[in-house]
């Protein structure tokens, strides 16, 4: 498990890993423009190519690579989405996607994938036994299938956790969630249809991310809400209690910090903040 | 007087160096490192809390792997990691003056390893759970004497003629049919291997074999009863099916100790109305003491597979448990030990009249409710010929492969099934 940071056009990694033992520069990453990490691979985007490197083994060459031609390098990359397809969490790494899906972003997890199209429609596929695909049944889908329950409500952001999926709607200020079961003590029931996740007081969500069994969301007013499994402190609350209702993370308010972005690891949560000066 | 920890310690490898931790590439090096740290804590004295946390991390991480993808495809090494996690958690619970509750939690942890993990270190968790059970029995011996002597003795004496008639009448009245001879499953007393093979096995004909399990310790030295099951397996965790039948939407599975299962669904102390069934569980692998009470039917030697390939399942529940009409891919010897069951059999030749579910998951199950069929939706069902019976203690029903069968318990019941080919 290692965490990549992009700075000075190269990648720093921290954490336990076979590649580098502590925070250090990944030498293969010099000059890269974007980075994406999964449990097994580090994917780097350069101006002329893409490469995926194995995190467990020290290899001289990337596990997978792809040349970027002029047309594809013009359109902005949104890893793990890339020209013609996306990077999956396990082999085969590169999976193609039909252009008619008009993919704008893709969220991948061990069991399933969620795709947001330019029209605001959401597609899901993969294993569905925990209801994470949002089709109302617990069966798997081999190919992208539109989440009909969200039809007519354009989404702007998608995220996937280990056994659940989340998306944010564009027009309204509320968050739609497709829940799988998150943690056997908190969620015994399985929810196979998207359900509205109540954040109160009501507010606009601008970013969301999922860990393996928790969800974190940032509001336009700079607050962080979390819910799900809490045993390892990933919810950022004073106790380790798991919750199924989103709860405000008081810490940032108390420290007068405005949360501007959030990314979840499997059992932790990373937050970008801006310090607020009280006049 | 040896402490609990010293007894557990005695079955562990003598030193850290002799404690194996070998895994394939599938298990990331970071996880192996966590396992090494836990192993180290087994042989060194340190503060208590980090032991538990280390073990819990290993458990939580491997638990996620066990729940990713289909069970069939879960790498065996992840199940082994899970078992190691359980082992380290048991060590954390027991190594310093464990309370009675700690010991029960440790038993539950061993059971989780036996149910979900894969055997490690010569099935060390099976050895440890027996040590723990002895500890539990010691401390509950004084407590329970007063409480359980009041519980009615549920013995295994075969029913008297009057009771037998009453039960058959009950079965008949519910199914609104009078049992006729030609509809009854034929009964044979201790057939020879040859005559069983010629008359029933080869032509795939069902039969009730009488007198072939009379020698089981379950009828003799250790007659199975609720008290006996509590004493042998009371604190052990088992999977229980809750809900009237597995085709229902509200049907679910849960994990309970045998004591909890008996309290909640058999003696119904809490007044629960739902049906609970300890069904299709390889209880005898989990609790070797119970395995000693039964024997493999001799007729299984007529099959092709090895003894190890025979799946033995326990079926223990109150009256009213129902297994909807379904078929299995192997032959079955269904041995009745306690109580009685109404069973109906349909030939696979009549499958077209039984309306199996279309879905992949349930294609071996009929859509029809046998004892109250909806003949508007399933008209052909009324035309399907069948055989039925009331299986009594001491009977063994031979269900040929793919033969459709429907089972309803008429009273508290314990059956043992042997699936063989």
Contact A16 B25 (CB under 8 A): no
Considering only A172-186, B91-105, B179-193, B363-377, which range has the smallest mean pLDDT? A172-186
pLDDT value at residue A7: 60
Mean pLDDT, residues B169-174: 48
Predicted pLDDT at B154? 42
Q: Which of A21, A212, A214 is most worth mutating to test chain B (most B CB atoms within 10 A of its CB)?
A: A212
Confidence of residue B113 (pLDDT cuts 50, 70, 90): very high
User: Once rounded to an integer, what is the mean pLDDT over residues B109-130?
Assistant: 96
The answer to whether residue B150 scores a pLDDT higher than 50 is no
Q: Which tens digits make up the pLDDT trace of A131-173?
A: 888 887 778 898 999 988 888 888 888 999 988 888 888 764 4
Q: Report the C-alpha gap between B21 and B121 in whole angstroms.
A: 10
Pick from A56, A127, A232: CB nearest B69: A127
Say if B349 is an interface residue toward chain A (CB within 8 Å). Answer: no
* Closest chain A CA to residue B255: A184
Q: Does the pLDDT of residue B132 top 90, yes or no? A: yes
Q: How far apart are CA B153 and CA A205, in angstroms?
A: 63
Set of chain A residues whose Cβ sits within 8 Å of the Cβ of B25: 56
**B70 contacts A127? CB cut-off 8 A:** yes
Nearest by CB to residue B29, choosing from A56, A163, A212, is A56
What's the mean pLDDT in B328-348? 97
Contact B68 A231 (CB under 8 A): no
The CA distance from A221 to A227, in Å, is 18
Look up the CATH architecture of domain B179-420: Sandwich (2.60)
The answer to whether residues A180 and A193 touch, using CB atoms and an 8 Å cutoff, is no
Cβ–Cβ of B69/A56 closer than 8 Å? no
Chain A, nearest residue to B250 by Cα: A189
- Tell me the per-residue pLDDT of B28-74, one tens digit each, with 9 for 90 and over: 889 999 999 999 999 987 765 689 999 999 999 999 999 888 888 89
Residues A127, A116 contacting (CB under 8 angstroms): no
Q: Examine the pLDDT at B3 and tell me if it is beyond 50.
A: yes
Per-residue CA distances from B202 to A104, B195, B311, B369 (Å): 62, 10, 21, 30
CA distance B69 to chain A (A): 6
Higher pLDDT, B220 or A190: B220
Query: According to the model, what pLDDT value does residue B69 have?
Result: 85
Q: What does the pLDDT read at residue B47?
A: 64
Yes or no, beta carbons of A212 and B67 under 8 Å apart: no
Backbone angles phi, psi at B283, to 5 degrees: -60, -30
At residue B249, the pLDDT reads 77
Best to test chain B binding among A22, A56, A63, A233 (most B CBs inside 10 Å): A56
| φ and ψ of B227, to 5 deg | -65, -40
Residue of B nearest to A190 (CA): B252
Q: Do B64 and A111 touch (CB under 8 A)?
A: no
Average pLDDT, chain B: 89
- Mean pLDDT comparison of B9-23, B157-171, B264-278, highest-scoring range: B9-23
Q: Which residue positions in chain A have pLDDT lower than 70?
A: 1-9, 15-25, 70-76, 171-191, 198-201, 277-279
The mean pLDDT value for B315-341 works out to 96
Min Cα separation B49/chain A (Å)? 14
Query: Is A56 in contact with B33 (Cβ distance < 8 A)?
Result: no
Give Cα separations from B390 to A189, B121, B219, B345, B394 (angstroms). 38, 45, 19, 12, 12
Q: Where are the domains of chain B?
A: 4-140, 179-420
Q: Are B288 and B232 in contact (CB under 8 A)?
A: no
- Residue B246 is predicted with a pLDDT of 83
Q: Which residue has the higher pLDDT, A59 or B419?
A: B419
The pLDDT, as a whole number, for residue A179 is 54
Give me the sheet containing A85-87, strands edge to edge.
A81-82, A85-87, A94-96
Q: Is B69 on the interface with A (CB under 8 A)?
A: yes
In the prediction, which pLDDT does A74 show? 57
Place of tokens 């109540």: A198
What is the three-class DSSP state of A42?
Answer: strand
Among B165-169, B385-389, B407-411, the least confident range:
B165-169
Residues 166-205 of A with CB under 8 A from B: none
Which residues of chain A make contact with B33, given a CB cutoff of 8 A?
16
Q: Is A226 an interface residue toward B (CB < 8 Å)?
A: no
With a cut of 60, say whether residue B4 has pLDDT above it.
Answer: yes
- Kindly provide the ipTM of the predicted complex, given to two decimals: 0.86
Cβ of A110 within 8 Å of Cβ of B60? The answer is: no
Interface check A111 vs B, CB under 8 A = yes
Provide mean pLDDT across the span B237-260: 90
pLDDT at B230: 95
């Amino acid at each position: 498990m290692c965490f990549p940071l992009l700075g000075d056009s190269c990648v720093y990694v921290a954490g336990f890993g076979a590649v580098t033992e502590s925070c250090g520069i990944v030498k293969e990453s010099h000059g890269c423009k974007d980075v994406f990490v999964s449990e097994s691979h580090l994917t780097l985007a350069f101006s002329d190519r893409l490469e995926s490197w194995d995190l467990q083994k020290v290899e001289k060459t990337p596990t997978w690579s792809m040349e970027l031609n002029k047309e594809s390098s013009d359109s902005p990359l949104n890893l793990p989405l890339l020209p013609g397809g996306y990077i999956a969490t396990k082999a085969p790494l590169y999976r193609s996607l039909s252009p008619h899906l008009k993919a704008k972003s893709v969220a991948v997890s061990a069991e399933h994938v969620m795709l947001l199209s330019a029209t605001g429609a959401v597609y899901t596929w993969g294993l569905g036994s925990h209801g994470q695909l949002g089709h109302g049944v617990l069966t798997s889908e081999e190919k992208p299938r539109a989440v009909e329950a969200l039809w007519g409500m354009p989404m702007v952001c998608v995220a996937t956790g280990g056994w659940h999926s989340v998306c944010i709607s564009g027009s309204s200020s509320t968050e739609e969630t497709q829940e799988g079961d998150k943690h056997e003590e908190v969620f015994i029931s399985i929810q196979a249809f998207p359900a509205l996740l109540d954040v109160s007081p009501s507010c606009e969500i601008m970013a969301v991310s999922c860990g393996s069994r928790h969800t974190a969301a940032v509001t336009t007013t700079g607050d962080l809400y979390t819910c799900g499994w809490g045993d390892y402190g990933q919810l950022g609350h004073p106790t380790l209690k798991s919750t199924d209702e989103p709860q405000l993370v008081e810490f940032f308010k108390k420290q007068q910090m405005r949360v501007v972005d959030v990314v979840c690891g499997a059992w932790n949560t990373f937050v970008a903040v801006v310090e607020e000066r009280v006049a | 007087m040896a402490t609990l920890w010293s007894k557990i310690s005695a079955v562990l490898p003598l030193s850290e160096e002799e404690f194996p931790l070998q895994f394939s590439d599938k298990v990331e090096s970071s996880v192996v490192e966590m396992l090494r740290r836990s192993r180290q804590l087994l042989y060194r004295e340190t503060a208590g809390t980090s032991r538990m946390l280390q073990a819990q991390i290993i458990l939580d991480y491997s638990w996620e792997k066990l729940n990713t993808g289909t069970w069939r495809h879960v790498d065996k090494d992840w199940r082994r990691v899970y078992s190691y996690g359980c082992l380290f958690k048991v060590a954390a619970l027991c190594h310093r003056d464990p309370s009675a509750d700690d010991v029960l939690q440790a038993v539950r942890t061993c059971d989780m390893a036996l149910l979900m993990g894969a055997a490690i270190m010569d099935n060390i968790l099976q050895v440890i759970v027996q040590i723990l059970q002895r500890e539990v029995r010691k401390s509950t011996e004084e407590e329970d004497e007063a409480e359980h002597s009041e519980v009615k003795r549920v013995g295994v004496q075969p029913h008297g003629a009057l009771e037998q008639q009453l039960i058959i009448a009950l079965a008949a009245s519910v199914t609104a049919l009078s049992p006729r001879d030609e509809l009854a499953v034929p009964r044979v007393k201790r057939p020879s291997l040859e005559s069983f093979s010629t008359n029933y096995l080869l032509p795939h004909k069902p039969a009730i074999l009488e007198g072939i399990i009379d020698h089981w310790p379950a009828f003799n030295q250790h007659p199975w009863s609720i008290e006996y099951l509590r004493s042998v397996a009371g604190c052990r965790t088992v999977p229980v099916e809750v809900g009237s039948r597995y085709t229902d939407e509200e049907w679910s599975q849960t994990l309970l100790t045998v004591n909890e299962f008996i309290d909640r669904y058999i003696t119904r102390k809490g007044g629960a109305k739902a049906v609970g069934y300890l069904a299709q569980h390889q209880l005898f692998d989990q609790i070797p003491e119970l395995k000693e009470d039964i024997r493999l039917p001799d007729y299984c030697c007529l099959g092709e597979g090895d003894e190890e390939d025979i799946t033995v399942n326990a079926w223990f529940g109150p009256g009213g448990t129902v297994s909807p009409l379904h078929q299995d891919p192997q032959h079955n010897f269904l041995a009745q030990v306690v109580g009685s069951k109404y069973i109906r059999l349909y030939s696979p030749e009549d499958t077209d009249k039984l309306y199996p579910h279309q879905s992949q998951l349930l294609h071996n199950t009929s859509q029809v409710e046998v004892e109250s069929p909806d003949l508007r939706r399933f008209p052909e069902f009324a035309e399907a010929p069948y055989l039925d019976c009331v299986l009594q203690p001491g009977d063994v029903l031979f269900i040929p492969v793919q033969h459709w069968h429907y089972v309803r318990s008429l009273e508290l019941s314990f059956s043992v099934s042997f699936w063989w080919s």
